[in-house]
Amino acid sequence: MTTRTAMTTTRRIASAVLTLVIVVLVILLWPARFGGSTHWIIVAGNSMEPTYDLGDVVLTRSTTTPTVGDVVVFEVPYGVGEGSLVIHRIIGERDDGSFVMQGDNRDTADQWRVRPEHVVGTPLLRLPGFGKVVAAISSGALVAPALGLAVTIALWPRRRRDDPDRPTDHDPTTALERPGLVASPSGWRPEITEAEMATAREWLEQELRRIEQTYVEAPPLPVRPRAPRPQPVGAASHRSG
């Protein structure tokens, strides 16, 4: 295998990896940034086992017709974890139109009265164990490697056979004679300063942190029974069979 073939193969592999990273980031960033219908959460407990495990990432699609039996992601309407996202199953519907929620691995229902407007969506895709990757991205642990890969691919020297001004390996021309360019064995490439790299890294870190979400486990509290309605004197109570 020649040096040129090895460089071409490496470039293709790096491009494929970068494409995959971009696709994943678009899926994760697009809803929050542009008002799309796709959301995501990281499962942070065992209340939905074996359907969803700790560390899974669940992508959801917005729905306007949640029904009993559906697994949904909803915003906690009040109390502990208000505004956070929880993924549980609808096990019933109350007279006031609110849903009774419960985890598949729970013996009791949630304490909240979840209304249809609190439902964010229904599961669209499960990414087992992908939460660690998302957490690493959110914390910035993968920012430097990802940025380095992107810059390497963008600035990888490419041979231009039709450029008569391209210097050869023995060309004494120095980078000082071509402002903004630095020499490489196979041509000239743009020069990136440390300040520009720092600015790009800071921007990327800010964008990636936007994908961070909070997941709160519903406390195992039973649904409070509704007080019986007072019956008029002399009226017979009615029970459905």
Contacts of 108 (CB under 8 A, 6+ apart): 102, 220, 221, 222, 223
Residue 239 lies inside a defined structural domain of this protein: no
Residue 134 lies inside a defined structural domain of this protein: yes
Report for 1-10, 62-71, 140-149: range of highest mean pLDDT:
62-71
Residue 57 lies inside a defined structural domain of this protein: yes
pLDDT band at 93 (very low <50, low <70, confident <90, very high): very high
The reported pLDDT for the residue numbered 164 is 52
| Residues 120 and 75 sit within 8 Å (Cβ to Cβ) | yes
CATH number of the CATH domain containing 23: 2.10.109.10
Residue 123 has pLDDT above 80, yes or no: yes
B/e letters for 167-184, b = 16+ CB within 10 Å, e = fewer, are: beeeeeeeeeeeeeeebe
Q: Which two tokens stand for residue 125?
A: 């895709």
Residue 172 lies inside a defined structural domain of this protein: no
The reported pLDDT for the residue numbered 61 is 83
Residue 173 lies inside a defined structural domain of this protein: no
Residue 165 has pLDDT above 70, yes or no: no
3 state SS of 197: helix
pLDDT band at 217 (very low <50, low <70, confident <90, very high): very low
Handedness of CA 28, 30, 32, 33 (dihedral sign): positive
CA-angle at 8, arms to 10 and 184, nearest 5°: 95
**pLDDT, the chain, mean:** 70
Residue 167 lies inside a defined structural domain of this protein: no
**Range of 6's domain?**
1-157+207-222
Residue 236 lies inside a defined structural domain of this protein: no
**Is the model more confident about 40 or about 4?**
40
Mean pLDDT, rounded, for 58-67: 86
Residue 71 has pLDDT above 90, yes or no: yes
Cα distance between residue 187 and residue 90, in whole Å: 62
Residue 229 lies inside a defined structural domain of this protein: no
Enumerate helices (H) and strands (E) in the chain, giving the number of each.
4, 8
Q: What is the pLDDT of residues 72-82, one digit of tens each?
A: 999 999 988 89
Domain count, the chain: 1
pLDDT > 90: what percent of the chain? 24
Using CA atoms, how far residue 169 sits from 1, 178, 185, 187, 220, in Å, is: 21, 16, 6, 9, 71
